[in-house]
Structure 1
């Protein structure tokens, strides 16, 4: 066997606290891009993997979806976590490969196509206005993450699913506990058993929803999922619940991270805030820059189905690679001055939504929500400043800010 490239900086990927310290994280990622862009990581508690930190290599692996598969290890987790999730049988779109992935993805695809998004835009614009109006009423101070950013996209995706508004707080709690399982403030407890309990409670909730929508179908996404068939057969209970799970969680947590991180970037870069306010035609470009800047999904993993090489480094059949989007989206070879927040950045070839067959199903919805919110907020924003230190969630998968204390003045 050839000598493996090992750089201790790559241990950052198995350290949830690193993602709560952006300076520490990006220093490690910049070092890896320059010195060990394909680095072997073998740390206690995790099955070993290769860390991939360059944009070009991430894209190469994303394109080769038959050589590098999502199954059996789509995200980084501890060995114990991997084993428990496998025992429960979680099987969302991110766990699947073609042809199964293509067939299951198609069930919800129509709900996220451009035609459906155009129909939703009026409603999303109304919700953006509602939440900015609420900021006016609640001002002049708030924790923007907890009072605004988590609620607006949650309302959108839960409404699409057809869930009663009274259940929105419960779903928010579940999602924060699930994605915040490595964060002392957000987790239900430090035990893996409690983290799995969150998943099982979500499964129970969605099993009840499946039974209800099969008995009495309605015109919502939940009914489309509950009553879907593939080759004439309905989805299994676990596959149905897993579908709800990925829509309900990924459908709002990632977008809320972009909205809160995007506002933080505008606060920290007042010149860019004024540039955008003076030319709102930049909003589409600014949306993409916020998504690149935050990159809420930090990584996905793939497993090699045959011996291959990446950047000349041998990758053996059965070995896993971690695709670091957080690193890829600050790659100096792709983005000019990547650590500068630029609302007019063009081109902006970020891969925060992934690439290829696993490109994010809800990307158009996320873009629309971010665009609508800031299109409403920025023209009305007279002043804004931090009133305390922003805090990031500790995570190794999905996350962003958990607190953003601000003082602001908005026109009515």
Structure 2
């Protein structure tokens, strides 16, 4: 079954994700009419689009049958794929992080830092994270009742937390933010490296290669330093770690730094900004949360579901299979659409409404199965602490102009949330 061309073009178009509604409408149609079907947008190899919550979990729960690393793990055009393979000696990946790995590598590399991001270890960081959160809230209070919550608060708070954990000095945080935005916002004229309104596949791949190159240059120096002078930070774990009886491969080590330094804050920033935007647009929900702070954990899960910052990952079938009655052939490429799964009417009551007391809320924004987000506990802890500090001091909030989303079909969230507010 082939998806209508207009819908196929919408679900791959960065601009559509920047507007939200076209993508929501497209996925709503697909869930209803063709929940698992083939898209063939212009310039792309054909791929299956998995739109239903249960089907996404089915694919993610079978890691041997549906691989991450055999083809590109994020959606890429034919020309983009050709260029990356040419640059990388046949590999479809510019980086090789946990996201691009299958077992046995995936589990071996994940174990290196897994304990760092587990709740029992994170407890040790809580006091310091609260200190950083209070600083962010004080900064917001000092702005006199108006700010861009995305760029002034939501981008910077999780960035500072993850950079402390990684071991990046504070003066380098602006560089890390800029490179992260270039990596995830490569299709957004405001965030991209080139600032071009429209980019060809070649320009985009070359810009991404330059951004990755800057990350690698930075973390190569950090690796040398941490091998000579190990510290109590995640960078030292990566620099001195052992996998399969030897040190990490150079590409794998650099990719490990990059995923911690980017995904470690950007998705949390997106969710924090989205959650506040939703409260500004839904005063009744803000009032409910303000009246009952015990709803903060529910509110966080709803913010994560609402934002779903990671829009998709791709999987490749390693053998002939069947999903939701459709025959998937060995080698077929599949797009797992997380925003669609998180708006699935069969799982979520009134999915297009933001409800701070939604329960249960078993969203798929962190993925599912072996590849579930390594930093999920840290992200939720950061957001919980921020709201425990901000909520008692925030008396009112409203939008102060149009909020804007970044343009990306991979990782996307608010880039501007102008607000007017009163704090005590």
Instruction: Give how far 1:277 is off.
Output: 0.7
Q: Distance in 2 between matches of 1:145 and 1:376?
A: 17
1:308-387 → structure 2 map (5 Å cutoff): 308-387=321-400
Residue 81 of structure 1: aligned partner: 80
Residue 183 of structure 1: aligned partner: 188
Instruction: Give how far 1:171 is off.
Output: 0.4
Could you tell me whether the CA contact under 8 Å between 2:108 and 2:244 is conserved in 1? no
Q: Distance in 2 between matches of 1:126 and 1:168?
A: 18
Residue 61 of structure 2: aligned partner: 63
Report whether the alignment pairs 1:403 with 2:416.
yes
Instruction: Give how far 1:126 is off.
Output: 1.4
Q: Distance in 1 between matches of 2:381 and 2:241?
A: 27
Q: Report how many residues are paired.
A: 408
Q: Distance in 2 between matches of 1:159 and 1:346?
A: 33
Task: Give the secondary structure class of the aligned counterpart of 1:142.
Answer: strand
Q: Distance in 2 between matches of 1:199 and 1:184?
A: 18
Could you tell me whether the CA contact under 8 Å between 1:74 and 1:95 is conserved in 2? yes
Could you tell me whether the CA contact under 8 Å between 1:10 and 1:39 is conserved in 2? no
Q: Distance in 1 between matches of 2:221 and 2:46?
A: 38
Q: Which runs of 5+ in 2 are unaligned?
A: 89-93
Could you tell me whether the CA contact under 8 Å between 1:383 and 1:410 is conserved in 2? yes
CA deviation vs aligned residue, 1:354-391 (integer Å, no higher than 9, x gap): 00000100000011111111121122111111111111
Q: Distance in 1 between matches of 2:224 and 2:110?
A: 21
Residue 91 of structure 2: aligned partner: none
Q: Distance in 2 between matches of 1:80 and 1:110?
A: 39
Task: Give the secondary structure class of the aligned counterpart of 2:362.
Answer: coil
CA deviation vs aligned residue, 1:129-151 (integer Å, no higher than 9, x gap): 11010011122211111111100
CA deviation vs aligned residue, 1:325-378 (integer Å, no higher than 9, x gap): 010000000001111111111110101000000010000001111111112112
Instruction: Give how far 1:13 is off.
Output: 2.2
Report whether the alignment pairs 1:170 with 2:175.
yes
TM-score, length-normalised on structure 2?
Answer: 0.94
CA deviation vs aligned residue, 1:227-276 (integer Å, no higher than 9, x gap): 00113200111111010011111000000000000000111111111101
Residue 7 of structure 1: aligned partner: 4
Q: Distance in 2 between matches of 1:366 and 1:275?
A: 23
Instruction: Give how far 1:110 is off.
Output: 1.0
Q: Which stretch of structure 1 is more off in the superposition, 231-240 or 274-283? A: 231-240
Q: Which stretch of structure 1 is more off in the superposition, 344-353 or 189-198? A: 189-198
Q: Which runs of 5+ in 1 are unaligned?
A: none
Instruction: Give how far 1:79 is off.
Output: 2.7
Instruction: Give how far 1:169 is off.
Output: 0.4
1:122/1:405 CA distance change after superposition, 3 Å: same
Could you tell me whether the CA contact under 8 Å between 2:8 and 2:41 is conserved in 1? no
Report whether the alignment pairs 1:95 with 2:92.
no
Q: Distance in 1 between matches of 2:28 and 2:244?
A: 47
Q: Distance in 2 between matches of 1:83 and 1:115?
A: 44
Residue 199 of structure 1: aligned partner: 212
Could you tell me whether the CA contact under 8 Å between 1:10 and 1:51 is conserved in 2? no
